Amino acid sequence: MADLLQHTLVVSGIRLPLDAIEGDVYFKAKKELKRLGLASENAQYRIWRRSVDARKKDDIRLVWSVAVTCPISDAVRERIEAGAIPGVSLLKEEPIPEPSGTQPLPHPPVVVGSGPAGLFCALLLARNGYRPTLLERGGNVQERKAAIAAFSASRVLDTETNVQFGCGGAGTFSDGKLVTRVNDPLTAFVMDTFVHFGAPEDIRINAKPHIGTDILCHVTERMIDEIEKLGGKVLFHTRLDGMTAHGGNITAAVTNRGEIPAGALVLAVGHSARDTYSMLMERGCAMEAKPFSVGVRVEHLQSDIDAALYGRFAGHPALGHAEYHLSHNTHERGVYSFCMCPGGYVMAASSEEGGVVVNGMSRRARDGANANSAIAVSVFPSDFGGTPRGALALQRQIEHAAFLAGGADYSVPLTTMGDFLGDTSVRRIGRVQPTYMDGAAYRFATPGDYLPSFATDALRGAMRAFERNIRGFTAPDTLLSGAETRTSAPLRILRVPETRTAVGYDNFYPAGEGAGYAGGITSAALDGLRTAMAIMSRYRAL
């Protein structure tokens, strides 16, 4: 008889009513394994994933996946890996490797940026004895909160500490959404790490996990504390202004507080550090323009979205508030929803003087009256001359136009859906109240005042198409504000795949969303982890 080895299987597609309890899920999983001839008395069960199937409004269900650890034969394992047993797959988790590098580090590695890529990179390095120095141009969480409140109250922008810059990066003041399309076995490690530092347990199993800005602020603070306890150094208000290099070897980070010796340099600055991009361009660093998106923030009453998507089940405690993800193709461009924030707020997300930028944020409870989401239109390199400088120039042009359209005092340019689509011309707020700067800073202006015509044309067609997906999406009192320009980095810093080092450099590691290799909190964290692993596989711990 062939030896049976322990494996973890994932039994997927278990559809149950909203009121089903955990025992019902396990019973259904056991029944399915028995039907497939895989039942085992010694199996261990745990919930692996939970999602909502709302395709039928009169029969909304929760869909569960269960991880089952049990002994199976090699023959069964091979059948599962070949996809021959529908609804069952092998769970592949990748352990973090031990350091294996032998090359000595003359100085601790320097990690620039404390967003998810930088935080996870520095944390993993600290846990393995590398004593990294983490640089952040902005302030700590409390300083960020104070700067954001002051901006709302006085309209005086702090260009170093704001929604984009500071402890935790831009994602801290969003919704803390952890959804990713990256199929990386280290994703579970990212979720476990967030939970370890105070995130809710349910992020491990929800198909659309989110932490919430209010909790994510505390999580990032605890991660910073851990890095320091493990021998790392964290320097806030320390901006990277240049690099000292000999040949292709970085020897120091040049900052506004002086030079900091660097055995290796990890650049994880996020998508808004345009001065850093300019510095790298002046140095001749290899980079390329890439597609990005621009658009508006759309605000509905959350109760309307709940009713449209969940019907009579709206408000059921097993569902929470409804979320949507929409896409439309004009045959020339894609238009899609991005960073949808149930029960959220539109944030003043400017980081440069003379520009208005919007983003979305939700607390953990998602208890705001409005739902908001970016509706973004694809921008191609051909739209801006195909160069990184052209990409940055187009973003700035749109943001400055939005600043002027809002009255040149950081008020947001805003219109209603009825006015935008030409159904009304009332310039009056209806049921949906604006949330940008607590609803106290807006001026009526059309998206055509700040977006290119290709974007406004695509938005009009997409809004009408989205009405077919969500009834009431184009309700006349829906609000549109802008400009949404920071959905992703508009360029990519080229790196060698095998080493993850920048082209032409020996110890310079571009990482995360700002380097053009991630799109969201989880994928950025993963890129930061794999960058740390590349350093650990090459260099000896200090």
* Cα 527 from Cα 531, distance rounded (Å): 6
Contact 11, 49 (CB under 8 A): no
% of the chain surpassing 90 pLDDT: 91
The predicted structure's pLDDT at residue 121: 98
Cross-strand partners of 343: none
Question: Higher-confidence residue: 321 or 93?
Answer: 321
Confidence of residue 176 (pLDDT cuts 50, 70, 90): confident
Nearest 5°: the CA angle 320, 479, 443 is 135
- Averaged pLDDT for residues 450-475: 97
CB distance 338 to 483 below 8 Å: no
Q: Give residue 380's pLDDT.
A: 97
Q: Confidence band (pLDDT; 50, 70, 90) for 66? A: very high
The alpha-carbon radius of gyration of the chain (Å, integer) is: 24
> Is it the case that residue 175 has pLDDT exceeding 90?
no
**Residue 250: which of 501, 540, 530 has the closest Cα?**
501
Query: Is the alpha carbon torsion for 371, 421, 383, 163 positive or negative?
Result: negative
392 Cα distance to chain centroid:
21
pLDDT band at 41 (very low <50, low <70, confident <90, very high): confident
Query: What confidence score (pLDDT) does residue 183 get?
Result: 82
Dist CA 75 CA 180 (whole Å): 32
Mean pLDDT in residue range 415-425: 89
pLDDT score recorded for residue 403: 98
The residue with tokens 């105070």 is 198
The stretch 104-130 carries a mean pLDDT of: 98
**CA dihedral sign of residues 169, 174, 178, 182:** negative
Domain 110-288+491-538: CATH superfamily, name plus number:
FAD/NAD(P)-binding domain (3.50.50.60)
* Sequence spans of domains, the chain: 5-90, 110-288+491-538, 291-484
Within 10 angstroms of residue 32's Cβ, the number of other Cβ atoms is 19
Instruction: Collapse the DSSP code of 81 into the 3-class scheme (helix H, G, I; strand E, B; otherwise coil) and give the result.
Output: helix
The average pLDDT across 368-384 equals: 98
What pLDDT was estimated at residue 1? 42
Q: Concatenated DSSP letters for 341-410? A: EEEEEEEE---STT---EEEE--TT--SSEEEEEEEEEE-GGGTTTSHHHHHHHHHHHHHHHHHHTTSSS
pLDDT at 181 over 90: no
What does the mean pLDDT of the chain come to? 95
Condensed to tens digits (0 to 9), the pLDDT of residues 234-272 reads: 999 999 999 999 989 999 999 999 999 999 999 999 999
pLDDT of residue 435: 98
The confidence score (pLDDT) of residue 2 equals 54
CA distance 241 to 258: 10
Dihedral pair phi/psi, residue 9, rounded to 5°: -100, 155
Enumerate residues 6+ apart whose C-beta is below 8 A from 59.
none
Q: Tens of pLDDT along 292-307? A: 999 999 999 999 999 9
Mean of pLDDT values over 412-434: 91
Query: pLDDT-derived band of residue 330, with 50, 70 and 90 as boundaries?
Result: very high
Query: Could you say which architecture CATH assigns to the domain 5-90?
Result: 2-Layer Sandwich (3.30)
Question: Strands 110-112 and 88-90, how do they pair?
Answer: unpaired
Q: What local confidence, expressed as pLDDT, does residue 404 receive?
A: 98
Over residues 419-447, mean pLDDT = 92
